[in-house]
Copies of this chain bind each other. A is one copy, B any other.
Amino acid sequence: MNQPAVEPTDRKILSLLARDGRMSFTDLGRATGLSTSAVHQRVKRLEQRDLIQGYGATINHAEIGVPLAAFISIRPIDPSQPDDCAARLEHIEEIESCWSVAGEESYVLLVRCTSPAALEDLLARVRAAANVSTRTTIVLTTYYENRPVTGTVEDEPG
C-alpha cells in the first residue's frame, strides 16, 4: 500500500528515464520544474541508492541474428542436492533472465539464440550445468517487452 522512500519528483524522474534513458538533465529539469543541477544531483542519488540500476539500449534481437526466444522452465533432477541453479547457469550467455518461481518448476529462464539447432545445444548445456530437467516454451511473437512499469501516473495534458 505504501510506496516507500521515493517521493514524487524522484518517481517522475525514474519514470522519464525508464522511457528514455538518454534524456538530458536539461530536459529532465524542464519536465520536473527543477534546475539542471538539481536533477543532476537527484539522478546521481538515485543511482547511488540503486533505484536506477543501469542504462541499456534496447536491441532488435530479430534483426541482429538472434531471432529465436524461448522460456526454459527448470526442475532439479535430484531435489536433495543444494539448489544453486542460478549460479551454475550464470556463465551461459544466451540466458537473458533468470528467475526462481513458485509452482511446478523451480526456475524460469528467458533465452535467446540464433536457430533451433542452437537452442537444442543450449538446452543440453543448461541440463548439464545444473543437473535439471527442462520444459521449453518457444516464443512465437514478441508483442512488447520491458515496457516501463513504475507505478507512476503520467503527465497531465499540456
Contacts and interface: CB of A to CB of B under 8 A. Distances in A.
Contacts of A147: 93, 95-97
B71 A108 contact: yes
A132 interface: no
Interface string A32-73: 000000000000000001111111111111011110010100
A146 B59 contact: no
B146 A97 contact: yes
A146 B143 contact: no
A145 B51 contact: no
Interface residues of A, number: 66
A52 B63 contact: no
A98 interface: yes
Interface in A94-109: 94-103, 108
Given A100-B140, A114-B1, A137-B103, A146 B56 contact: yes
Given A101-B138, A103-B137, 11 more contacts: A4-B65, A14-B57, A59-B150, A86-B143, A96-B145, A97-B146, A99-B140, A99-B142, A99-B143, A102-B137, A111-B149
8 contacts: A6-B63, A20-B56, A50-B60, A50-B63, A64-B150, A93-B149, A99-B142, A100-B140
